[in-house]
Amino acid sequence: MVVNPAALAEKIEDLLVEKDLRGMKFAQSCLTPGYYYRAAELIHNATGTVLIGTGFPVLNTFETDGPVGAIVLYNALIQIGLKPVLVCGDPLYSALHNDYDCLRLNIAEHHNAEAFAKRTLSEIQPSLLISIERPGLTQDGTYRNMFGDDISDRCARFDDFLNHATCPTIGIGDGGNEIGMGNISQHLSSHNIMASQTCCDELLIADVSNWAAYGILALLGKLRNEDLLDSVNPLAILQYLSDKGCIDGVTKKNTLTEDSLSYTEGVNLIDKIRTLCGFK
């Protein structure tokens, strides 16, 4: 069993980009090792409300990658005594708000987004912001998908929350066009992606953004001496989201997959991470 937190974090970080589906091994080389451990510490030190932004539009609905990880984090934060709030626009907001504490972003009001973010941050006073697989504004002020298509008319702005936050911020992505990738956007010019320019305090990368939640919770569990991954069930969450109409962001199909990968990939990853942590 690995006991050194820094060494454990680096092993988990390597594992999370092992498939290198969209160039995240290169992105890893642009980051200072230990980013997952530092993010876990931010959650460990958080109090009260934590805002979790997620939801990437695909066609007329939302993709499976992002909401699964957001729900995993949401459940774990409740377990450790925090008050998480999922921040998203429609149709994801309408799909989740009856079952989770949610804050709605208005897709049609980009012109009011900055004022809304400032007002909400002032009222809620969150201790931490997390963005997981949310589109980030590119250099030309638009939102782009992995193919470079302009999807601005379907994207609510969460960028302003990170830009104006007075608390720590975490960004999670798997391709370069997500909020947080502004930290390394200058290094992504060789990638076939219109990179997000929105920055964060701690950027986390993974082959699939959902999987980043497992890395964070593993290290948070080590800090708390408890296995926070023990009850995580990706299949159940995927089924819940599938029933509400979400689709795979790559295949555009309503299947129990993440970025075209079977849910079993995530289940197996959790098993590997828990073994690395000595939880099993």
| Strands annotated E in the chain | 49-54, 57-58, 61-62, 83-89, 102-105, 128-132, 169-173, 202-205, 257-258, 261-262
Residue 265 has pLDDT above 90, yes or no: yes
Please state whether 48 falls in left (phi above 0), alpha (psi between -120 and 50) or beta: left
Q: Are 17 and 25 contacting, i.e. CB atoms less than 8 angstroms apart?
A: yes
pLDDT tens-digit readout, 85-104? 999 999 999 999 999 999 99
Q: pLDDT confidence of 213, banded at 50, 70, 90? A: very high
Q: Residue 15: is its pLDDT beyond 80?
A: yes
CATH H superfamily, domain 5-277: TON_0340 (3.90.1640.20)
How much is the pLDDT for 109?
Answer: 76
Region 194-216: mean pLDDT is 98
Query: pLDDT digit string (tens) for 141-168?
Result: 999 998 899 999 999 999 999 999 999 9
**CA atoms within a 13 Å half-sphere pointing along the CA-CB vector of 217:** 29
| pTM for this prediction | 0.97
Confidence of residue 189 (pLDDT cuts 50, 70, 90): confident
The pLDDT value recorded for residue 107 is 86
280 compared with 226, residue with greater pLDDT? 226
Give the mean pLDDT of 228-250: 97
The SS3 call for residue 132 is strand
Residues 6 or more apart whose Cβ sits within 8 Å of residue 111? none
Give the separation between CA 40 and CA 42, rounded to whole angstroms: 5
Mean pLDDT (whole number) for 181-209 = 94
Structure-block tokens of residue 62: 């939302």
Residues 6+ apart with CB under 8 A from 218: 12, 228, 229, 273, 274, 276, 277, 279
Chain segment 37-67, per-residue pLDDT in tens: 999 999 999 999 999 999 999 999 999 999 9
pLDDT, the chain, mean: 95
Per-residue pLDDT band for 122 (boundaries 50, 70, 90) equals very high
pLDDT over 90 (residue 275):
yes
**pLDDT band at 192; cut points 50, 70, 90:** confident
Q: Say what percent of the chain tops pLDDT 70.
A: 99
pLDDT(178) > 80: yes
Partners of 62 in the beta sheet? 57
Domain edges within the chain: 5-277
